[in-house]
Chains A and B, each alone.
Chain A
Amino acid sequence: MHVLRPLLVVIALVAIVLAIRIFAVPVGFGVYDGGYIYGWYDQSSEEAAKSVEVKYQGREYCQGCHTEQSSKVSSSLHANIQCENCHGPAIKHPSEPPKLTIDTSRDLCLRCHADLPASLSGRSAIKGIDPDNHNPGVNCASCHNPHSPAPGAAK
């Protein structure tokens, strides 16, 4: 039957795609926990997601060496602020990077201490200033010690 010849071409093409699949599909591909709808994937990509480098190490990591500063902060009003929020991610410090950049900008403090309408937020419980009128242009750290901010007073 000559009319079936196009069908042979189609079958050949399908066979080629199936053959390519054998080589080109990663071995980890399969149906996992989520079933075909939510769990059709290459399992090795889970490992890729896990292998991302941890950069924020947490205050316990800092405490080991910077004992003095950390104990100072931990007894202050800023006790709940992680070191790395102001000092940047530790990554592998002190080996890499050997020095962390300290953010002493006004903008960092204003994240919490700019007075805003925030009636239903914890923000209203934090002492706030009007950044345009409260010593504009001056770094907060020149008057206030971020490691031991005295309640309601400059240092």
Chain B
Amino acid sequence: MITRREFLKTSLAGAAGAAISLAAIEMVDPGKVLAAAVQPEKNARWAFLIDSTKCVGCGLCVKACKLENGLPFEANISPTWVERYILTNGGELFADSPKAGRDGYTSKRVDLGMGKYQVVDKSDTKKAFFVPKLCNHCENPPCVQVCPVGATYRTPDGVVLVDKSWCIGCGYCIMACPYGARFIDPRTRTAGKCTFCYHRITKGLKTACVQACPFGARQFGNLNDPNDPVAKTIMTQRVVVLKDEYGTKPQAYYLGLSKEVR
């Protein structure tokens, strides 16, 4: 009983529409702006591209994500997060992601957990970088495979979502995800995760984190669109995915990753 979602009849010029300068409009009616933005892609296959070398660890993406998705700002979970890696001259690796990187990295103190910190000086570092992470929206999502009630699924356009009204909160999906992308949403007491901002991308908008990133470290695109610059990069450049060995076929592609990244 395969029934396909009905897509709005819109032209492929959708991407071009976003480029129209709205500065010309004198008074902006939010409704009009949204209506102008509503141009979902046909038969999309959404994918994420992260250029780790561009990330500066400002954490504005994490902040935007939590606010956009209405998650309690202080709750220590997040659909997306930023990790910091520091390799010292002595070969020691330090990594942390305090508050998921929500407040950015403003201190040289690396959070070691259990109330301990380690200050690493610039002169003592061999490598130091930031890595943004989020749900990989795997093509073979192990979290979906293990859901006992069909409360999580992969949409036809490749986004892994949770049905908050049907989830029983067993936590099996959280256990099955090799990336630590899932959590229990404190609002609904059901599984929570990154939705690729499904409410935005289906309206032709970018995800909140992509929009918030000032440095282009996060990009979002449609693999089924041959003219999509992000798709082009993924197809033609040296991209890698995280934890390939699990056979999950992640759809978050990385540029400039390093072997230290976990």
Contacts and interface: CB of A to CB of B under 8 A. Distances in A.
Where chain A touches its partner, the secondary structure class is loop
B3 interface: yes
B106 A114 contact: yes
Where chain B touches its partner, the secondary structure class is loop
A65 to B, nearest CB: 6
Contacts of B127: 119-120
A37 B60 CA distance: 35
Contacts of B255: none
A15 interface: no
B227 to A, nearest CB: 21
A54 to B, nearest CB: 6
Contacts of A85: 60, 63-64, 212, 214
Interface in B135-167: 140-141, 144-145, 150-156, 161, 163-166
B144 A118 contact: no
Contact of B53 (A26, A30, A56, A122): A122
A54 B195 CA distance: 13
B166 A89 contact: no
Contacts of B21: 60, 63
Interface of A: 26, 29-34, 37-43, 45-46, 48-58, 60-61, 63-65, 67, 70, 80-82, 84-85, 88-90, 92-93, 95, 107, 110-112, 114-123, 126, 131
29 contacts: A31-B2, A38-B154, A41-B152, A41-B153, A46-B161, A46-B198, A50-B199, A52-B70, A54-B68, A55-B70, A56-B64, A56-B211, A56-B212, A57-B33, A61-B22, A90-B30, A111-B57, A111-B104, A111-B105, A112-B214, A115-B122, A116-B128, A120-B53, A120-B258, A121-B53, A121-B55, A121-B130, A123-B56, A131-B106
